[in-house]
Amino acid sequence: MMDELTLLQRIVVWILPVIFAITVHEVAHGWVAKKYGDNTAAMLGRLTLNPVKHIDMFGTIIIPGLLLISGTGFIFGWAKPVPVDARNFKNPLRDMAIVALAGPVANLLMAVAWALIARLGVAMHSQSEAVSLPLIYTGIAGISINLVLALLNLLPIPPLDGSRILTGILPRYWAWQYNRLERFGFIILLVLLYTRVLNLILEYPLYFAQQVFFSIAGL
């Protein structure tokens, strides 16, 4: 459906869903961290939906922009990580795992919200295409980017959220050894993306998740 849009139209459709998906993901980490006793993000002014506070020029703008222009059909990005100090938690490994899980959960909740926006567009389609089509297209983009971010971040590659969740399960020694991979995490992701292995890993889970959320949207 997005193929019929011009490049400028696609940028307009995707820009808000991408920025909000990345921003709310990070705010969710900081908000849950605060609930478990760590006020670091709050003290640094990072518990805000103002995207300026979270934008990473490379991860929030350049990478999603290049993926959008290239027409790969696979868009993701990241913001400046919200600082979390696990030393403030009562149970650092467990609480850090919960904080990590908050990001993907926030993305899934946003996917629901975008699905409802798209459904509103579908309901209005017979009355005004000028209003309904932007709602539908933006809803589709919102569903897609949030599902990609949720699934991508659940991968057990340090420092992605999935690795923090796995760390909370592993014995302390193995968790320490496992997290030594963090320095290579970005390189691993780039290799997986370049070799299209990342597409293969996410293709089927993303397809089935999209079917569920598109059905909610009435598409």
8 A C-beta contact, residue 13 and residue 138 = yes
Are the C-beta atoms of 169 and 97 separated by less than 8 Å? yes
Alpha-carbon distance 86 to 59, whole Å? Answer: 24
Structure-block tokens of residue 5: 């849009």
Tell whether the torsion through CA atoms of 51, 53, 56 and 59 is positive or negative: negative
Separation between Cα atoms, residue 214 and residue 22, nearest integer Å: 21
Q: First and final CA of the chain: distance in angstroms?
A: 11
Question: Considering 4, 26, 182, 203, which one is annotated as catalytic?
Answer: 26
10 Å Cβ neighbour count for 187? 9
Residue 138 to residue 15: CA distance in whole angstroms: 9
Cβ atoms 122, 132 nearer than 8 A: yes
| Torsion sign across C-alpha atoms 56, 62, 68, 74 | negative
Q: Answer yes or no: 26 catalytic.
A: yes
Which residues are known catalytic residues? 26
